[in-house]
Structure 1
């Protein structure tokens, strides 16, 4: 799916190259996706688009579903919202956090799947850049300290009430992702891994390796649902976190990277975008570079306003990268020496895009 700078929404079917124009939302400044819905930050809050295609992961096999795509409407809020999703689009929730008011909102995914926007809770936690992360029928919510930074994470039930004894320190909490193991939240000192079972939430702190002093991981990404996640490590390279083994790895690279994502396949590929617009592929076990493209989006890289909307998405076989100024999306066979497989023309200029149905 693609959304242009004015809010026009379009879909391109990668199987038969058919296109659909869904209509127009308010002009977006950021877009997030869980693989089915697109959550677009607009001046009014967050506009939600249902692509109508999604996957249910049963671990050893997948079920694929299709419904009519539609524009669902808006969730009001102030400031650029942080959107936190889970691995399932029809159960559980989706978290929105509005920094200017400190409001944490949990949306009902089952209602979204029926075309209804329903807030399970909306609570005020103090003005800060925070998170509301769905977990176990409720959500992990950051709370502000004296300096207006997220210092603590608390678990709130679906009705918004906090659970006694389910809070933990997480200084300068930023960035989150849901893996097959649990929920990851970045902290200044490492990562917080939260899991839920029978209504009980367990927290584990995964500190950075001793002797490492690079910037913390805050922009986690991976092939949806997989245990391993990657994040840029400042100008030094890549942070790789294996949530199953509870281990960090710092992979140093020759080029500073803008986006990174862990494919977590048999060859442990990590796919990255560098500052020149090249897509680079690394072996996660050795750290060696195993492939790279030519610069793909020089005009988009040169425009900071456009660069904010550039997204690198990885699935089981391909990586996708939008080039807003060039007006295309690139499909890259990352396991085949970063071969450029296709250049895709979307029905609306891909200022923002998401791969849905995964």
Structure 2
């Protein structure tokens, strides 16, 4: 399936720290009279930063930002009361950025942090990002900012692209069934602008940006069952819908945008300004639980997801293949490094970080139980994040942040004590 079209003007604009001015809601379900989509295979052009469909003019620069010679990595933490702090990983300085409503979960695209309080999301700009130009990178540092709130009801699912200065960011509120597409370029200028806000029946849905379009889930009997392609005005594209039973989980890789389905995954790519979608089914005869939570190093084609608690799914979006890796102990999270050594990381249910060979499934190394107390309490959610060189893990109950050298026998390279519980966290600048 191939689509093309032009970008639409932003639907609304606000100044920093103001609530967004909402465009008039429309009912998406009533608009969608689309025919079934015939899925086709595609190679997926990868000569530019993938999955955004945006031109590379400006190389990710914005007014007021300084270009650096190395990535300005930082850890952004949110404590149970909503205090937001930033730890600079280069000089180890710490600064409090502000406060958000007490949040239950957070996500990030490597620059912005989206904190979900159940009644809307708070958007935090860390002021640090990397522009992937395929054969080289550009690194930027600007002043961090609390950008404000995007209102909504119920748990919010956030989907981002590989660019922090172009394209869009998708937010879906499960309680109200509101599908919101934010203008990422406007966020880079300190504004929250909604390209569209549409209503569907409430469900655990997604708005997944891809080029100048967005994929929006549609429910049947309260469960996401299909995906439709909309333009930036929120208008459905004729014939552009794909079945995706029990759609759950999304991630952007170097190749395109992934949405998990009961029978595998949908992969959406942008080729010559148009969207193409194909299905990547699970291997025939598999009985392993499906993937619902994808994670991997930014800018790489392979992502990982737990397959139940004793295996890991690897999805290679370049080769369009799944690989199942058995694990000899219960795990709660997994992420793919996709480096030459094919490292895969997992967080064990006992609080250890495991380094696994992605080709054989062999356990290469492991840490001591770093977050056993956190996993056994409700102090917060330990989250394992990895970049090219290191992995990071928050320990809410233990009140520390760990930096782990996964290539050096899972060595703990640094430990950062925190003044309060780092209940939620994200790595930015990558």
Structure with more of its chain in strand, by fraction: 1
Report what 2:393 is aligned to. Answer: 321
Distance 1:125 1:12, change over 3 A: same
**Gap runs ≥5 in structure 2:** 1-75
Distance 1:69 1:346, change over 3 A: farther
Alpha-carbon shift at residue 107 of structure 1 (Å): 0.3
Is the 8 Å Cα contact of residues 11 and 347 (structure 1) preserved in structure 2? no
Report what 2:323 is aligned to. Answer: 249
Alpha-carbon shift at residue 36 of structure 1 (Å): 0.4
Is the 8 Å Cα contact of residues 159 and 250 (structure 2) preserved in structure 1? yes
Report what 1:109 is aligned to. Answer: 184
Q: Deviations over 1:293-348 (max 9, x none)?
A: 01001210111x335x2211000010000000111111110011111111112455
* Residue of 205, 219, 227 corresponding to 2:279: 205
Report what 2:342 is aligned to. Answer: 268
The structure whose Rg is larger is 2
Report what 1:154 is aligned to. Answer: 228
Is the 8 Å Cα contact of residues 399 and 419 (structure 2) preserved in structure 1? no
The two structures, once aligned, show a CA RMSD in angstroms of 1.0
SS at match of 1:300: helix
Which structure is higher in RCO with an 8 Å CA cutoff and minimum separation 6? 2
Is the 8 Å Cα contact of residues 19 and 346 (structure 1) preserved in structure 2? no
Report what 1:221 is aligned to. Answer: 295
Is the 8 Å Cα contact of residues 3 and 348 (structure 1) preserved in structure 2? no
Q: Deviations over 1:105-137 (max 9, x none)?
A: 000001000110000011112111000001011
> When the two structures are superposed, what TM-score results if normalisation uses the length of structure 2?
0.81
Q: Separation in 2 of the partners of 1:241 and 1:22?
A: 36
Q: Separation in 2 of the partners of 1:347 and 1:10?
A: 10
Q: Does 1:96 align with 2:171?
A: yes
Is the 8 Å Cα contact of residues 106 and 122 (structure 1) preserved in structure 2? yes
> When the two structures are superposed, what TM-score results if normalisation uses the length of structure 1?
0.97
SS at match of 1:110: helix
Q: Separation in 2 of the partners of 1:210 and 1:111?
A: 44
Is the 8 Å Cα contact of residues 2 and 347 (structure 1) preserved in structure 2? no
Q: Does 1:306 align with 2:306?
A: no
Q: Does 1:290 align with 2:379?
A: no
Q: Separation in 1 of the partners of 2:117 and 2:241?
A: 32
Is the 8 Å Cα contact of residues 277 and 297 (structure 1) preserved in structure 2? yes
Q: Separation in 2 of the partners of 1:70 and 1:346?
A: 21
Alpha-carbon shift at residue 214 of structure 1 (Å): 1.4
Q: Does 1:134 align with 2:189?
A: no
Q: Does 1:330 align with 2:405?
A: no
Alpha-carbon shift at residue 196 of structure 1 (Å): 1.7
Q: Separation in 1 of the partners of 2:243 and 2:131?
A: 33
Q: Separation in 1 of the partners of 2:379 and 2:306?
A: 19
SS at match of 1:355: strand
Report what 1:59 is aligned to. Answer: 134
SS at match of 2:216: strand
SS at match of 1:299: helix
Q: Deviations over 1:158-184 (max 9, x none)?
A: 110011121100000000000000111
Q: Separation in 2 of the partners of 1:164 and 1:120?
A: 20
Number of aligned residue pairs: give it. Answer: 355
Q: Separation in 2 of the partners of 1:327 and 1:266?
A: 33
